[in-house]
Amino acid sequence: MRGFETGPMSANASREMFGHLTDGTPVELIRLFGEQGFEARIITYGAAVYGLMVPDRHGALADVLLGEGDLAAYEANRRYFGVTVGRYANRIAGAAFTLDGRHHRLAANNGPNALHGGIAGFDRHVWQVAALGIAPVPFVTLSRLSPDGEEGYPGNLEVEVTYALTGGTELSISFTATTDRPTPVSLTNHAFFNLAGEGRGDILGHVLTIAAQHYLPVDAGSIPLGAPAPVAGTPFDFREPQRVGARIRAGHEQLRFGRGYDHTYCLAREYQAEPRFAARLEDPGSGRVLDLLTDQPGLQFYSGNFLDGTAMGKSGRLYRQSDALCLEPQAWPDTPNRPDYPSARLDVGETYRHTSIYRFSVA
């Protein structure tokens, strides 16, 4: 549905003004309502999930996502709170790759490497509301055109992301993209979760399970060293539920490189036809549980290592190290330079697809 008016839509979805960027560009807020007070708040700047209101075991609601206090802070800072990341999530070594014999130089924004789409990735743009509806479930679809050559990537890329409440307390995020030239694509959402509630302490006591037997060790610049390594016998083994903080300070070289966890877990060697279980996050205090399902081959686990007290959050509190964590389904890092990794290449006539499901419950 296109061309509808700004304002309340129904009891299940609404659309309102969030603010204006310094150049006057309007930014909108979409609210999708589920059961038991569950609510997803989406802003068109960065196609970001601005908030998620989730009930605890007693029915009390809390926003479980970190976020900037207002739009001006989103524009002034780049902390990736809840945003859509692209054209390529994670890092590409040397900010360059060769595709079909042609060398492509990218914008380097993480030392010599390209990170999360470059200097002005998808998170730094205002997306268009392409559709908003309540049937069969509350949803919003946001879109943008990433033009040929943006941040050095080839091809005009037409992108859509749909946020839908596919269950009473379940948010589904689905990405699609098409191109007019071969190009690498890996999109994800960069939500920072704290199931106790935003601004309510750290996540070191959260209990995490990740359905992966291998992860990708990295160098000091967070570029994968090579083949996946077994998690068995290392602090990276979350096949059985473990407290996030139980081994985060173990004397492991990989934890020193990332200042904690900031690594890709290898869920599969190929993209899946349907989302399947990837991770579970539990907060013993509130009883909130998050099950993450995805069709992607990788999951980046980041333990909030670089939250340094400079961000004033939505609650008016400063965010500090490990006040949240990220679970980012995506392709493996640096795949354009790694033919031994699952390919992230998108060809003309194909459609890139990525669906991840964030299913909340209580224990």
Query: What are the catalytic residues?
Result: 190, 328
Residue 82 backbone class (left: φ over 0; alpha: ψ -120 to 50; beta: rest): left
The pair phi, psi for residue 155, each rounded to 5°, is 90, 145
Strands 276-282 and 288-294: antiparallel
Give the Cα separation of 191 and 193 in Å (integer): 6
Nearest to 208 by CA among 288, 280, 260: 280
Give the Cα separation of 296 and 283 in Å (integer): 25
Give the Cα separation of 338 and 341 in Å (integer): 6
